[in-house]
Each structure stands twice: as structure tokens, then as C-alpha cells.
Amino acid sequence: MLLLPVLSLSPFPSLIPDHSLRFQSHRNRHASRRAVRCAAASSGVDGDSFTAKSGYLFELSATEADSLAEYRISKIAAIYSRKPLLVARRLVQTGVAFGKWFGLRYLDSLMDRSESMFQVRAAALRKILVELGPAYIKIAQAISSRADLIPPSYLDELSVLQDRISPFSTEVAFNMIEQELGVSLVEVFSEISPEPVAAASLGQVYQARLRKTGQVVAVKVQRPGVQAAISLDILILRFMSGLIRRAGKLNTDLQAVVDEWASSLFREMDYNNEASNGVRFRNLYGSIPDVVVPLMYLEYTTRKILVMEWIEGEKLSEVKDLYLIEVGVYCSFNQLLECGFYHADPHPGNLLRTYDGRLAYIDFGMTGEFKQELRDGFIEACLHLVNRDFDALAKDFVTLGLLPPTADKEAVTKALTGVFQNAVAKGVRNISFGDLLGNLGTTMYKFKFRIPSYFSLVIRSLAVLEGIAISFNPEYKVLGSTYPWIARKVLTDSSPQLKSSLETLLYKDGVFRIDRLESLLTESLRAKTEKAIVKQQNEGTDSRMVMKEILSFTLTEKGEFVREIVVQEFAKGLDALGLATLETAAARVPFSALFYSSSMTEEDIINLETFQRLVFLLLGTRRKEDSNTGSKQVSPYKNQRLGMEELSLVLNQVESIQDILPVLSIIPELPPESQQQLLQLPASLVRQLISRAAARTIRRLFL
């Protein structure tokens, strides 16, 4: 066995070079390895209370263990059907633990003290789950975001479930490293910490230095027998969930939920899979400014051993760094809505702040895939929520798989309106993600919604970031930071589904809703691109900068769809402006009413007002308040004919078009491609104006 140097272990040890480090002879190592095997059983009971409580003091044969490489409930059942005493022992242990808890809850109900004893019983349940072992810890962590499975009152207690577990024997761990790699430790590492620096339900981590390169690495070692233990617990959980579903007459298929999470858990126990996930995550997001993804050493990785680059830092939840929260929000946006490959276990322990001020992601055992149609559906749901379109939001829930197509959408719409109306009343920047989840959770439990696994993980990844942020800034809103990216994606994405959604959002009954375009453009300008992430965001941006950003955006290839809409509405406005000007001139001619009748329609009035607001939007200035002119807003649905006084006020507003001259100074600063697009706009406008004039003439002649 190797002689280990004494290393600093708190909280993230730095290896101390020890040139006197020596290893025992080959013969002594083999003798020590035999001793380790003998010690495994005894140290499990006396030195590792977690192992003893979990009850996995056994091992499967090599053939049986290999058959559990992937989750197959039929194979698990076949293995344990030949081990009835082992199953019975675990059933008794599990049954006693939960039976006692349910018995106490029943007594609480009889004594009418359920509410007052809630916190005590919830804490007791969390303790039971930790003591019963890794399967129960992982399932409980997953259920903590499943509002369709448990009452919302239990979510808070389970959401803080931590899997801080006693470590198993270091001798057993070192023995496993040598067995898995097929070589002695001295051949791979020049130094290694004498004790684990972190321990969890599935494994524990040592700090080491690679002999070949001198790189400091983290060595993750799986707990012995953990897969066998989890397999047995999953088998029992499926049995119990079937009984609970029948007894409680629940709509959710609990056994399917157990299967779903068991599959994810089995993938997490394969460290080859985790290494592949880490490589992919690094390739996709490692280039984002101030994001760190550790390098995976695949040549030293097996199903039970993982070697990765050592990341030095502190938990993000323990430092006050709001900037890194913003970086995390941006990275989450890329994971969820751009690439669709995301970190599915974003608890605070997996997010670190490095000592040079960067955000590090670690532990890639659980990742998820977010399909394109679901990404688009999620974006649409966010848009409909912000714009208070709760009827469309109910339909989004069907698209996202939260509701069956046969659901009573009218009742759901009414419920969602009650849940979200107040939450969004103060604007998107003030929407609390945590409040939304709490309110929505109650509704989901009431209507027995089904929450797909991807959805709970997606929501959890954002909720964790907000939870960390509000611990030192109670006013922080993660949705307010995410929505600018959503707005930009809606405005620039080439997806036919999102284009259709944008068009539906901007037009109602053929009427263009300029306020929604204003909102989307304004929010999208708050989103910083990868190269433009800055630590301080200036609130008071001058109008010239806003004008430049809007032009830069609308004149790009990605802004083509929005540019076409703006040009179309601009043409309508110019056409309406021409008619309004003609009417104003005609009104000044004596007796004009005898030979000239108004041709202005409600549509023209709306187009004129839209034109006015488009001008202010493109100029980067706020719309003039009605109080400044002493006027009331012109209603497009009042009179067919525009009153002279009202028309004069509108035209006075539009006269500020002369302010567009500053645009000329910005044009040279635009990229050549954008300048080319700008030069093509007049021709496009002229074509649309001619088309509208021709259509108007035909209507007057033949209709």
C-alpha cells in the first residue's frame, strides 16, 4: 500500500509537493490488497454508518453486476427473486421506517394537529430518506420539483435535501482504483490525498496529481455495492408506488415515474457516461466568457472511476457574486433554448466560483436533452405568460406535455389567470420564479397535471440560480434576466413555429399590436451577446446608442422577419399619413365638404398611430406622453371619420420625424452588410406604397 503525504483538506485542498513520496514493493501491495478485501465488510458497519443504514453489505456476482449496467426492471427482478432473504430484510427496514412516519401522521390527523406538526414531520421524512440510502436520496431530490406527486407544502423541506454522506474506507477506494485501471496507483498518480475531500451518496472524491503530466485532478470513486443496493431499492420502490397509486386513486402513473428516474440514476452511475457528458458540455459551453468546464481524462475513466481536471473554488451559494448569476442565466439559456443539452442536476454544490472569478460547472452525471419542439413550446409559454395570454398558455401546456389534449382548457385558463394575473401585473422584470412555481404547484396538484421529467429539470435549473441569487439580493428575478434572451430568440430565430408565434403575438384580427413589438425590442436590447457580457449594465443608455442597436439588429440576416414586418407597417403608416395630409389640406379649402368626402378608414387611423410609434421606436426615444399635448389617445374604433382636431394633434406628433436626421450619423458605423440592407429599404417601401395605392384605387372604382 502506498505511503500518503499529509495534505491540507479544507475546504478544497491544494496538493503539497512531496519529493520523498515512496511506494511499497509490488509484493506488499498485493498483500495489502488482500487485507483491504477482508476489511471491507467490517469497516462498512463500524466506520461507515451510511453503508450500514442503507443495508448493502453484500455483492453481486460478476455476471449479475454486468447485467445491471443499464436499467432493466425485468433483470433486476430476476436477480433478486433468487435472494428472498435479502429482499425481506430490506423490505422490513424500509417498511418500519415509513410505517412509523405514516403512523405518526395518522395520529396527528386524529388529534387535529397536522398543520402544527407539519415542519416536524417533514423534517423527519427528510431524515428517513437520507438514512435509507442513495436511491431514496436521489428520488427525493427529483420529487422535490414534482408538484403533481406531493402536496406543495412538502416541496420546501425536500428541496433542501442535501446528500452529505459519511465516506467509505479509503483503503477500499484505492483498491477499487487499482482494480478498475489495472495498474498500481504509483503508475498513475505521483500524489493523492489520504482522505476523500468530498463524499456523496454514489461516490467520493480524492485530489491527486497525474504522474505523466503533473496535472492536479479530481478522482471520483464509486461506492462499492451501490448499484446493487439501488437496484434493490428501485424494485421495492416500484412495488410500493403501485400500492400507493391504487390506495390513493392517483392519476399519475407512479411506477412509470420511478422507472423514469431510475433510468436517469443508472446513467449517472456509469462514469463513462458522465465523462462523455462532460466532454460534450465543455465543447458546447466552455467558450462562454467566464464559464469553466473541467477537462475529462477519458484514458483514466471507467464505469466506476472518473478522473477530471481539479477545479479550485467556493460554492456559488456561499459567495455574493451577482455577476456570476447573470453568467449562469446566460449559460442556462444556451443550454435550454439554444443547444438543448443541459446540466440536469444544478444543485448549489455543482456550481462553483473559482478564485479568479469564473463560474465552474462540475458533476455531469445527470444531463438532459430538450427537443426543438419543446424548446419552442417553452419559449411560446414564456411569451404568453408575460403578455397575459392565459388561453394560449393553457394550449402551451398541452404542447409541453403537462396536460392531455382532452383537458378542460376553459377551466385551466381560468385557474391560470387566477394564479398568474397578479404575478405578471408588475412586469416581467419583477416576476419571481419561486413565486410562480409555488402558485403553479398548487394548481397542478389540484388539477392532477403530469409534469414531464424534462420540464421539472428545466424549471429546477432556473429556480436554483434564483434561489442562490436571492440569498444575498432579495430583489433578484431570474426570469427578468432570462426573458431578454427569450425576446431576442423570438425576434431572430428561423424556426417556422416561432415565426408563426411571433406573427400571432403581433397581430390580432389583422391589427398590428405595436406595443408588443416595442416590448420585445426593448427587452431584447437588454440581452448581451457572448462577446458583450459585462459586469455593469448601464441603465441610462442614450437614445443614439439605442437607435444604433435597433438598426444593427433589424438590418441583419437574423432580423429579416422583423424587418419585413416593420417595413410593411411603415408603408401602411406612410400611406395613411399621405391620406391624412390630403384631408388636412382639403379641409382648409372653402366649401371642400361639397366636393370632397373623407377616405380615411379606421384601419388608416390605426396605421397612422402605429407609424407615429414606429418612428419613436426607431429613434430610440420614448413615446410622447399624452399629457404633454393635452390630448386623449385616438381610439381606432370610435368614429369612421377622423376629427380635424384629433388629426391635427396626431400630425403634430408625427412632425417629429425630422428627428430622424441623427440616423445619418449612425449609418457609417454600421457593418457593410447592414448598410446594404438599409439602402434597399426605400425601394421596398416604394413597392409596398404603390401596391397599397393600386389596391385603394381598385376598391374605389369597383366596390
Q: Lowest-pLDDT range, 27-41, 576-590, 618-632, 677-691?
A: 27-41
What integer pLDDT is reported at residue 141 of this predicted model?
67
Question: Is 50 exceeded by the pLDDT of residue 629?
Answer: no
Q: What is the mean pLDDT of residues 553-573?
A: 85
Q: Rounded to the nearest 5 degrees, what angle is found at the Cα of 207, between the Cα atoms of 37 and 335?
A: 110
| Residue 440 φ then ψ, to 5° | -70, -35
Q: Under 8 Å CB-to-CB from 360, ≥6 apart: which residues?
A: 291, 292, 293, 294, 311, 313, 351, 352, 353, 354
Per-residue pLDDT band for 218 (boundaries 50, 70, 90) equals: very high
What percent of the chain has a predicted confidence (pLDDT) above 90?
Answer: 17
What integer pLDDT is reported at residue 403 of this predicted model?
79
| Residue 222 φ then ψ, to 5° | -75, 145
Q: Is 112 helix (H, G, I), strand (E, B) or coil?
A: coil
Q: Rounded to the nearest 5 degrees, what angle is found at the Cα of 655, between the Cα atoms of 654 and 658?
A: 115
What integer pLDDT is reported at residue 453 of this predicted model?
63
User: Could you write out the DSSP letters of every residue in 390-424?
Assistant: HHHHHHHHHHTTSS-TTS-HHHHHHHHHHHHHHHH
What integer pLDDT is reported at residue 270 of this predicted model?
93
Question: Is 60 exceeded by the pLDDT of residue 648?
Answer: no
Q: Are 234 and 76 in contact (CB under 8 A)?
A: yes
Q: Which residues are tagged catalytic?
A: 345
Q: Lowest-pLDDT range, 13-22, 72-81, 237-246?
A: 13-22
Higher pLDDT, 266 or 254: 266
| Residue 189 φ then ψ, to 5° | -120, 140
What integer pLDDT is reported at residue 228 of this predicted model?
84
Instruction: Count Cβ atoms below 10 Å from residue 180 Cβ, excluding itself.
Output: 17
Per-residue pLDDT band for 161 (boundaries 50, 70, 90) equals: low
What integer pLDDT is reported at residue 283 of this predicted model?
97
What integer pLDDT is reported at residue 470 of this predicted model?
76
Question: For every residue of 305-330, which 3-state class applies, written as one string?
Answer: EEEEECCCEEEHHHCCCHHHHHHHHH
Question: Is 60 exceeded by the pLDDT of residue 542?
Answer: no
Q: Under 8 Å CB-to-CB from 322, ≥6 apart: which residues?
A: 469, 472, 473, 476
Q: What is the mean pLDDT of residues 351-380?
A: 90
| Beta-sheet strands, E only, within 420-561 | 507-508, 511-512
The residue behind cell 401585473 is 425
**Nearest alpha carbon to residue 193 among 275, 310, 304:** 310
What integer pLDDT is reported at residue 341 of this predicted model?
92
Q: Under 8 Å CB-to-CB from 179, ≥6 apart: which residues?
A: none
Per-residue pLDDT band for 299 (boundaries 50, 70, 90) equals: very high
Per-residue pLDDT band for 442 (boundaries 50, 70, 90) equals: low
Q: What is the mean pLDDT of residues 439-457?
A: 68
Per-residue pLDDT band for 553 (boundaries 50, 70, 90) equals: confident
Q: Lowest-pLDDT range, 208-212, 221-225, 460-464?
A: 460-464
What integer pLDDT is reported at residue 277 of this predicted model?
96
Q: What is the pLDDT of residues 510-540, one digit of tens each?
A: 888 888 888 888 888 777 644 445 444 444 4
Q: Are 40 and 224 in contact (CB under 8 A)?
A: yes
Q: Lowest-pLDDT range, 8-22, 440-454, 558-572, 596-610?
A: 8-22
Cα end-to-end span (Å), the chain: 99
Instruction: Count Cβ atoms below 10 Å from residue 450 Cβ, excluding itself.
Output: 18
Question: Is 50 exceeded by the pLDDT of residue 172?
Answer: yes
What integer pLDDT is reported at residue 391 of this predicted model?
86
The residue behind cell 381598385 is 698
b vs e for 625-645, b when ≥16 Cβ sit within 10 Å of the residue's Cβ? eeeeeebeebebeeeeebeee
What percent of the chain has a predicted confidence (pLDDT) above 70?
Answer: 72
What integer pLDDT is reported at residue 596 of this predicted model?
57
What integer pLDDT is reported at residue 174 of this predicted model?
95
Question: Is 60 exceeded by the pLDDT of residue 630?
Answer: no
Higher pLDDT, 406 or 645: 406
**Nearest alpha carbon to residue 417 among 390, 381, 392:** 390
Question: Is 80 exceeded by the pLDDT of residue 61?
Answer: no
Q: What is the mean pLDDT of residues 334-359?
A: 87
CA distance 134 to 644: 77
Q: Are 315 and 349 in contact (CB under 8 A)?
A: yes
CA distance 160 to 177: 32
CA distance 161 to 125: 10
Instruction: Count Cβ atoms below 10 Å from residue 467 Cβ, excluding itself.
Output: 19
User: Could you write out the DSSP letters of every residue in 64-102?
Assistant: HHHHTSS--HHHHHHHHTT-HHHHHHHHHHHHHHHHHHH
Q: Lowest-pLDDT range, 182-196, 334-348, 349-363, 608-622?
A: 608-622
| Structure letter (DSSP) for residue 339 | I
The x, y and z cell numbers of residue 683, run together, are: 425601394
| Torsion region of 133: left, alpha or beta (phi above 0 gives left; psi -120 to 50 gives alpha) | left
Q: What is the mean pLDDT of residues 160-177?
A: 79
Per-residue pLDDT band for 143 (boundaries 50, 70, 90) equals: low
CA distance 341 to 603: 46
Q: Are 337 and 489 in contact (CB under 8 A)?
A: yes
Q: Which range in 72-81, 250-259, 522-531, 611-620 is most confidently predicted, on average pLDDT?
A: 72-81
Tell me which H or E stretch contains 199.
strand 198-199
What integer pLDDT is reported at residue 24 of this predicted model?
36
Q: Under 8 Å CB-to-CB from 211, ≥6 apart: which residues?
A: 186, 187, 188, 189, 190
The x, y and z cell numbers of residue 22, run together, are: 515512496
Q: What is the pLDDT of residues 118-138, one digit of tens each?
A: 778 888 887 787 778 788 777
What integer pLDDT is reported at residue 435 of this predicted model?
64
Question: Is 70 exceeded by the pLDDT of residue 30?
Answer: no
Q: Which range in 130-139, 182-191, 407-416 is most confidently predicted, on average pLDDT?
A: 182-191
Question: Is 60 exceeded by the pLDDT of residue 183?
Answer: yes
Q: What is the pLDDT of residues 271-295, one digit of tens each?
A: 999 999 999 999 999 999 999 999 9
Higher pLDDT, 102 or 32: 102
Q: What is the pLDDT of residues 463-474, one digit of tens each?
A: 777 777 777 777
Per-residue pLDDT band for 681 (boundaries 50, 70, 90) equals: confident
Question: Is 80 exceeded by the pLDDT of residue 563?
Answer: yes
Task: Provide the mean pLDDT of the chain.
Answer: 76
Instruction: Count Cβ atoms below 10 Å from residue 652 Cβ, excluding itself.
Output: 12
> Which CA distances in Å does 259 have to 125, 192, 238, 271?
22, 38, 8, 20
Instruction: Count Cβ atoms below 10 Å from residue 555 Cβ, excluding itself.
Output: 20
Q: What is the mean pLDDT of residues 554-579?
A: 85
What integer pLDDT is reported at residue 217 of this predicted model?
97
Question: Is 70 exceeded by the pLDDT of residue 29?
Answer: no
Q: What is the pLDDT of residues 303-314, one digit of tens each?
A: 999 999 999 999
CA distance 676 to 264: 51
What integer pLDDT is reported at residue 587 of this predicted model?
66
